[in-house]
Structure 1
């Protein structure tokens, strides 16, 4: 319908001698792509349930990667349209990222809480390979900055945990799809910070510089702990308790200076 209306309008403008003339000879260079970010999620549901929720529920995403042997990619929303996957969110100072992002959901149960602790579910090799192929295609077509391939927990650290600590961020970074710190730089900085841990203000400033929506209070408040935990889960999944430490400081510095 929108296409028919646009075609009708162009014909009307062209054919109406007394009406306005449409001049397209001065294209502006002052624009960029609508798509600036790619946000990865897990579904916390089976494939069947995920498809139902993402096509007839209150949320949606542009793509869904199944858990079958081949990692089938389902296209659910055209990239030119806004999908409802990010909600209240922020990255690099940009907010409400539904309007400027592509959402990719991956079929994965997320986690299960047991008496012995929380157990997270891994992603399959087929899912990861399908994701790599999909991200390379999306990034090439839209000119996505690798720093803007992120998880739901990165953009909404107070609300979300997906895609979780078992998500293969380093594998993606090795493919040019995301950030990862230089190991030698981290080791060097960690020695320095082991005896001289930076202040909370420093951590908040560096987290914000990296892209995280971080309070600038100078205090280790609840919101800052959540942001720190999201950062740690992304870049140091072995421990993501939200406590600032020398290794976290070293990773932050390495990322912000590479």
Structure 2
């Protein structure tokens, strides 16, 4: 009898150790990727220093793209969180480390000179590599053309990367993000040159784009920084944070096309 009890107990313990069986034969349609955005950065350092920094525990990104040759380094698996976005917000989502894939491009950023900041360009080969990587990530995660943002978009009060020389138009030409129609921008600009909207209008239009922006109707420093981030992306020849007719036309054209 004692032997029977011992056998029963052993069987029970074995069953508990194995845990419940998980049945994966049913799949819900109500799901999508945890990655909703792809955030682009520059490293402000050369390749060796960039790898050294991104391999530590203070900052990280999923990918790093070198300059020449443009090798793509995978540093963090896409299903894990990397520390690249920091305090951030886009379209109501905050702290985007948890919902984004970060891509760092090796680029010095800028240096301060007598005439102001001197920005460094990106090589064509580096952008070619980035475009192919973006296409692959977007296809696998089911992301649309509004998923790609810059660090300056999600944190305009403290970040300026990937900078005014980043070729956003090349990404748009590759079908990776929306771009304002030039003829429509010109038409809208002529109208806005006659009567410019007030600051509250600009703030609301920027909010529609996805930016975190004050909605109080005052042209304060925070609002100027958001306007400058938008201009750096769509009108990089002048990103002074001034709410002018061309910026208004770009905003309205983009928002009407959504």
TM-score (norm: length of structure 2): 0.91
Deviation by residue 1:184-230 (Cα, 9 ceiling, x = unmatched): 11001001000110111110111000111111111111111100000
Supply the distance in 1 between the matched residues of 2:174 and 2:137 (Cα, whole angstroms). 14
Supply the distance in 1 between the matched residues of 2:147 and 2:223 (Cα, whole angstroms). 21
Shift of 1:29: 2.3
SS in 2 for 1:39: strand
Indicate if the aligned counterparts of 1:42 and 1:106 stay in contact, CA closer than 8 A. Answer: yes
For the aligned residue pairs, the C-alpha RMSD in angstroms reads: 1.9
Supply the distance in 1 between the matched residues of 2:64 and 2:20 (Cα, whole angstroms). 45
Q: Structure 1 residues 80, 20: CA separation in 2 closer, same or farther (over 3 Å shift)?
A: closer
SS in 2 for 1:87: coil
1:137 aligns with 2:136: yes
Deviation by residue 1:49-96 (Cα, 9 ceiling, x = unmatched): 00000002410000000011x311011000010000000001111111
Shift of 1:144: 1.3
Supply the distance in 2 between the matched residues of 1:256 and 1:89 (Cα, whole angstroms). 22
Supply the distance in 2 between the matched residues of 1:167 and 1:39 (Cα, whole angstroms). 13
SS in 1 for 2:41: strand
Supply the distance in 2 between the matched residues of 1:132 and 1:40 (Cα, whole angstroms). 12
Aligned to 1:87: 86
Aligned to 1:4: none
TM-score (norm: length of structure 1): 0.91
Aligned to 2:122: 123
Q: Structure 1 residues 222, 72: CA separation in 2 closer, same or farther (over 3 Å shift)?
A: same
Shift of 1:22: 4.0
Indicate if the aligned counterparts of 1:169 and 1:234 stay in contact, CA closer than 8 A. Answer: yes
Unpaired segments of 5 or more residues in structure 1? 1-11
Name the stretch that deviates more: 174-183 or 232-241: 174-183
Aligned to 1:223: 222
Supply the distance in 1 between the matched residues of 2:70 and 2:25 (Cα, whole angstroms). 46
Aligned to 1:183: 182
SS in 1 for 2:55: helix
Shift of 1:28: 2.7
Aligned to 1:60: 60
Shift of 1:148: 1.7
Structure whose alpha-carbon radius of gyration is higher: 2
Deviation by residue 1:113-147 (Cα, 9 ceiling, x = unmatched): 11122100000111111001100111111111211
Aligned residues: 245
Unpaired segments of 5 or more residues in structure 2? 1-11
Give the 5 Å matches for 1:154-193. 154-193=153-192
SS in 2 for 1:147: coil
Supply the distance in 1 between the matched residues of 2:24 and 2:119 (Cα, whole angstroms). 54
Supply the distance in 1 between the matched residues of 2:21 and 2:77 (Cα, whole angstroms). 32
Supply the distance in 2 between the matched residues of 1:24 and 1:134 (Cα, whole angstroms). 31
Supply the distance in 2 between the matched residues of 1:160 and 1:55 (Cα, whole angstroms). 21
